[in-house]
Structure 1
Amino acid sequence: MAKRVYEVWKGSNRFLLNGRLMFGPDARSLIVTLLLIIIPVVIFCTFVVRNLIHKFSSYNAGYAILVVTIVYTIYALVLLFLTSARDPGIVPRNLHPPEEEFSYESSASVEAGGRPTPSLQLPRTKEVIVNGMPVRVKYCDTCMLYRPPRCSHCSICDNCVERFDHHCPWVGQCIGKRNYRFFFLFVSSLALLCIFVFSMSALYMKFLMDEHGTVWKAMKKSPASMVLMAYCFISLWFVGGLTGFHLYLIGTNQTTYENFRYRADNRPNIYDRSCLNNFLEVFCTKIEPSRNKFRAYVQEEAPRPPRVPSREAEVDDSGGSRRAKVEDDLEMGDDLLKISQRHDFGDVGDVRSRVSDGFPQKSPEVELGSGLDLQAALGSVSEHHSSLGRRN
């Protein structure tokens, strides 16, 4: 029975629902991320929003706070799902190295028989033109392809990803060309959610301080509010700082990988097309379909045509074949000599056996003639053997 692509996938990804959902190898970290989002929201709705409903009972504003919290949390979770459960832009692997890039060169290694063999050399880099500028792309030994510009191989997922930004352990997936937009919206939505929860908890603490007069009494009245304020304040440093950093990357059309790797090179950014166009490229362009059909059946590989070696390889092979022919002739001469000697001894043994059994014995002329014929045959074989040696 033919297998599907996701069943024989060579990367480290994990698939669910028969290949419909694709996660990274560290997908279990999603459980931690979900708990860090859902648990504070549940505490906020239970201990803060429920009391704020009574504070704004005349205008039903408390219910509006509850609805906004739930809807915005669901929105953040949907963005998390879109970020972690889809193909980030994986470049399909090749089954064989690109043959058009092979070049035949003389190899320094020599076989046991003394024949030099041509070796196939694959250039490690090659140049392509991007926006009128030459860009050097590298060859990936794992995927057996030349990586497209802005593509890198993720060591965790073991895949080449287009416009590779980084591998995020919190979402358990690579961030690349097809999910970077959702990743940024997810991070920025978490930053806004932290600000919202922190503000509403601080507002409830303000009401408690007006009722009880001191901060200490207000904290004793609602310790959950203080815990949420501290939690949101710490979390905002991470998700807020990450949002600001990616705003800078989007405005300059960079990736996290490019920013950290080429920061000291001071090379010009050939992908920068002004701040507005950079934002439009990330948020307003159509997301390309995946280049991998994970639910498709694996196609059997067609037989490959034989590779035609270059002229240098043919010269080496012809030289090696001539030498091999001389060696084979020498070996054949040795074998003929041994066979002739063995045949001579067998004939002599047959003659003696016939004499001993009572058959008429051959005349001396016959024996002399057979001996002369045998010597002539041995002489011709030895002469052929010596001539082969001289030719060699």
Structure 2
Amino acid sequence: MAKRVYQGWKAKNKFVFGGRLIFGPDARSLFISVSLIIVPVTIFCIFVARHLLHRFPAYNAGYAVLLVAIAFTIHVLLLLLVTSARDPGIVPRASHPPEEEFSYDTLEVGGRHTPSLQFPRIKEVMVNGFPVKVKYCETCMVFRPPRCSHCSICDNCVERFDHHCPWVGQCIGQRNYRYFFLFVSSSTLLCIYVFAMSASYIKFLMDEDYPTVWKAMKKSPASVILMIYCFISLWFVGGLTGFHLYLIGTNQTTYENFRYRAEDRPNVYDRGCLNNFLEVFCSKIKPSRHNFRAHVREEVARPARISHARAVEDEPAGGPRAKVEDDLEFGGDLSKISQRRNYEEVDDVMGGRNSNGMQIVLPESELGVNSNTQVPAIGGEVRNSSWGRRSGKWDISPEVLATGSSATTDGGGSSQKDAH
């Protein structure tokens, strides 16, 4: 049975419910985050909200205190789940480097012209009329889109990468940044709500049988603990909310703000404060570029890479050996080139044949041939180079063959005369 995409996933993500939910490798931290939300709210509902049920007699508003706390907590937990369990904008990996980016340059080494493989690691694209450099990802074998970065924790390239949040166990990117901000801001409001209601209960106690703050706090220590907890939490989630409000207003990501802060480069993505907010909260979220439950398609088998040792002609009887060397070693990059390209096309690119389709002819100086030397027949044999891309024919020119044959005839005739 064919595997599904999530079963053969190459990154470090964890999948739940048959690939329906995707988490980061540190998804266990979610249990800590959930506990930090549920435990204080449970204490609030039992020791504080329960005593406020009858403190607001008009329309039985005291019951709303408890219901709002429960509903707000469920809202925050759902936002946490949506942020953590969805594709943040993972860029699909490629099975081989982009062929169209490879180029060849001829270098002269030791008097020989050697083709050299060229592959750009950085290229420029235009964004809002400004040039932006994009980098090649060695792991995903793609040029990253603008504002994309490779997360070392999840081992994925993520579009509009903001940061990897350990509290939600997931990367924050293009497809879940909106929910991440709503989660953080809603957590801030929940802290403010619990703090305010706990302080209100202390005030009610002071108005009744506990006239001093100290006596009221001794009566309800849970309210004091919740107030301290919410005050500390506000420094984190409240400060994070303010920071991301600034980032949204200026159309930056956390990664860009920390990385390019000192470079004082212009922000080519800034469209004005209002448009920046509309882009984050009102634009349509792009669909995922992955179907994790789809069956993996088997790749079509490519032609095997041809690799031979240097071609050497056998030495004929009574004559020297002619050797034609064509070993070109390009290193590891060349082995990654897609083998779908036709051999003859690469041969044309590499210079195996000239523009007129003429076969390359070796001069006499390179073969060590003179008028008195016998030349071995090389024509008619196809030679494959050791780097498996070139299939050029190396033929001796008719002039050289004629010279070699005349030399052989003259040598044979003179020997017959001497014999006579």
Scaled to the shorter chain, the TM-score interval is: 0.7 to 0.9
Match of 2:31 in 1: 31
Separation in structure 1 between the aligned mates of residue 220 and residue 59 of structure 2, nearest angstrom: 24
Aligned counterpart for 2:148 among listed residues 122, 146, 151: 151
Note the residue ranges of structure 1 that are not aligned, 5 or more in a row. 333-379, 384-392
1:219–1:132 CA distance, 2 compared to 1 (3 A): same
Equivalences for 1:253-332 in 2 at 5 Å? 253-302=251-300, 303=302, 304-306=340-342, 308-309=345-346, 313-314=350-351
Letter in 2 for 1:63: Y
Contact 1:117 1:313 in 2 (8 A): no
- The structure in which a higher percent of residues are helix is 1
Match of 1:188 in 2: 185
Worse-superposed segment, 187-196 or 290-299:
290-299
**Helix, strand or coil for the counterpart of 1:157?**
coil
Aligned counterpart for 2:223 among listed residues 222, 225, 237: 225
Task: State the Cα deviation string for residues 216-255 of structure 1 (Å, max 9, x = none).
Answer: 2212111110000000000000000000000011111111
- Structure 1 residue 83: deviation in Å? 0.3
- Structure 1 residue 305: deviation in Å? 3.5
**Helix, strand or coil for the counterpart of 1:196?**
helix
Task: State the Cα deviation string for residues 1-26 of structure 1 (Å, max 9, x = none).
Answer: 21111111111100011110000000
- Structure 1 residue 298: deviation in Å? 0.9
Separation in structure 2 between the aligned mates of residue 154 and residue 127 of structure 1, nearest angstrom: 22
Separation in structure 2 between the aligned mates of residue 194 and residue 202 of structure 1, nearest angstrom: 12
- Structure 1 residue 322: deviation in Å? 9.9
Equivalences, count: 329
1:48 is the counterpart of 2:48: yes
- Structure 1 residue 310: deviation in Å? 6.3
**Helix, strand or coil for the counterpart of 1:54?**
coil
- Structure 1 residue 117: deviation in Å? 6.4
Separation in structure 1 between the aligned mates of residue 28 and residue 347 of structure 2, nearest angstrom: 52
Match of 1:91 in 2: 91
What is the identity percentage for the equivalent residue pairs of Structure 1 and Structure 2?
69
Equivalences for 1:1-392 in 2 at 5 Å? 1-57=1-57, 59-106=59-106, 118-210=115-207, 211-302=209-300, 303=302, 304-306=340-342, 308-309=345-346, 313-314=350-351
- Structure 1 residue 309: deviation in Å? 2.9
Letter in 2 for 1:9: W
Letter in 1 for 2:230: C
TM-score scaled by structure 1?
Answer: 0.77
Separation in structure 2 between the aligned mates of residue 14 and residue 107 of structure 1, nearest angstrom: 48
Note the residue ranges of structure 2 that are not aligned, 5 or more in a row. 303-339, 354-358, 369-373, 377-407, 412-420
- Structure 1 residue 118: deviation in Å? 4.0
Separation in structure 2 between the aligned mates of residue 160 and residue 151 of structure 1, nearest angstrom: 7
Contact 1:151 1:160 in 2 (8 A): yes
1:108–1:24 CA distance, 2 compared to 1 (3 A): farther
Task: State the Cα deviation string for residues 192-232 of structure 1 (Å, max 9, x = none).
Answer: 00000000000001112222122222121111100000000
Separation in structure 1 between the aligned mates of residue 31 and residue 108 of structure 2, nearest angstrom: 55
1:37–1:322 CA distance, 2 compared to 1 (3 A): farther
TM-score scaled by structure 2?
Answer: 0.73
**Helix, strand or coil for the counterpart of 2:298?**
coil
**Helix, strand or coil for the counterpart of 2:86?**
coil
Contact 1:2 1:298 in 2 (8 A): yes
Separation in structure 2 between the aligned mates of residue 119 and residue 230 of structure 1, nearest angstrom: 67
Letter in 2 for 1:90: I
1:72–1:120 CA distance, 2 compared to 1 (3 A): same
- Structure 1 residue 109: deviation in Å? 9.7
Letter in 2 for 1:7: Q
**Helix, strand or coil for the counterpart of 1:139?**
strand
1:311–1:203 CA distance, 2 compared to 1 (3 A): same
Task: State the Cα deviation string for residues 159-196 of structure 1 (Å, max 9, x = none).
Answer: 00000000000000000000000000000000000000
1:107–1:17 CA distance, 2 compared to 1 (3 A): farther
**Helix, strand or coil for the counterpart of 1:217?**
helix
